[in-house]
Structure 1
């Protein structure tokens, strides 16, 4: 295989979009108010509360006001870093309590296992927090998949539709762009990575509109196309 590293998106790529929209988001919306009330004084939560106030431009916003804003952001699927961090904390409880497991397609588990055995470094880049990414794969339908991955990236490295984010990832990987493949279902994300020389492939699983990138319908096809 010509790639030394493969970076994959999650939603719509390794996992059903509906898992996020119909399972994770509603669970966070239901559980977030009580979680915030119970844990607001803990340092990790307090740090994200301060970040929420900063984003809201309301330095004195009450806890209730922040909770209301978070609920609105969830409804809007806003890519706000403190929201993603707090969602990850809530989801951790859900995973650990057995409320759900992380959905991963069978072909993804099979292909990632083969690629890792072949010595390819595997990374995740998602708008969900690193914690949320790790939880999904740790408590996946196939058990703990985290040993397959060499690293995780989220919005702290940059927005997924910005070329600078992929430049930063390349800097972290210390690999030539031509040795890196990025998998996503979102054309705009692939468009941001491609000008740097990164290999790109679009996953079409749920009726996504195809762009100008190579298309695959599952990870087995990805493997066939890059062999």
Structure 2
């Protein structure tokens, strides 16, 4: 049943935990694609050359090699087999091509997410990147903390990448307003069991007292199946919603509508 905009603040009356998506919800899609992903595409070769002998990068390369072997064995389209020569001069150009392909295909694989997280960590710490967070989100986080509500993040990006974004945001360090972080380690965002797993991690609150805010209708449906309350975020660049989605879920264009 469609909810009128005036019902939105009342929706949060009995909510104790708010789960937030990132891209298209707290953070602009343009920032993720045009800043974060573009940085990886542009700098991955330099990053690998500069950090090649560090333990961190050695582990990243080993994990990417295992991913490549798994992809070749699974017959993933377009994947090229790891070179026989393991010299840095050979492996780095191969990895640059491999990583860029995975980024452009938006693959949600662990080794890629880990490498991205390490690259972004340096960029944030050096001030090369500032995390974009909508101003209305910042105000809502502060208000919800004052009301005693817990706010957690659930994103396909790694927990490390999530924390970097909020710690080094354009509005300062916002980690103080977040109680927990979840990534696809609990399951894919389009599967209802993922939300049940999050509830278990949160000490099993009644699902009806938990609100999930996302811009993706498939994720909204999965969360609904797990018993959560859901609001859809409509921001610049988010995917158009169907008439049925608009009838089923309340929508917001700013978090101030929930205050």
Whether TM exceeds 0.5 here: the answer is yes
Q: Which residue pairs with 2:208 in the alignment?
A: 178
1:9-158 aligned at under 5 Å gives the runs: 9-57=21-69, 62=86, 63-64=91-92, 65-158=94-187
Aligned to 1:189: 219
Structure 1 residue 55: Cα displacement: 2.2
Inter-partner Cα distance in structure 2 for 1:87 and 1:3? 34
Kindly state the Cα deviation for residue 199 of structure 1 after the two structures are TM-superposed: 0.7
More contact order relative to length (CA 8 Å, sep ≥ 6): 2
1:60 shift after superposition: 5.6
Question: Could you list the runs of 4 or more consecutive aligned residues of structure 1 that deviate by over 4 angstroms after TM superposition?
Answer: 58-62
CA 1:41–1:168: 2 relative to 1, 3 Å: farther
How many equivalent pairs are there?
223
Tell me the residue number matched to 2:239.
208
Where 1:190 maps in the other structure, the secondary structure is: helix
TM-score by length of structure 2 reads 0.81
Output the TM-score relative to the length of structure 1: 0.92
Between 1:136-145 and 1:56-65, the stretch displaced more is 56-65
Using the alignment, how far apart are the partners of 2:130 and 2:136 within structure 1?
17
Give the RMSD, CA atoms, in angstroms. 1.7
Partner of 1:163: 192
Q: What are structure 1's unaligned runs of at least 5 residues?
A: none
Which sections of structure 2, spanning at least 5 residues, go unmatched? 1-12, 73-80
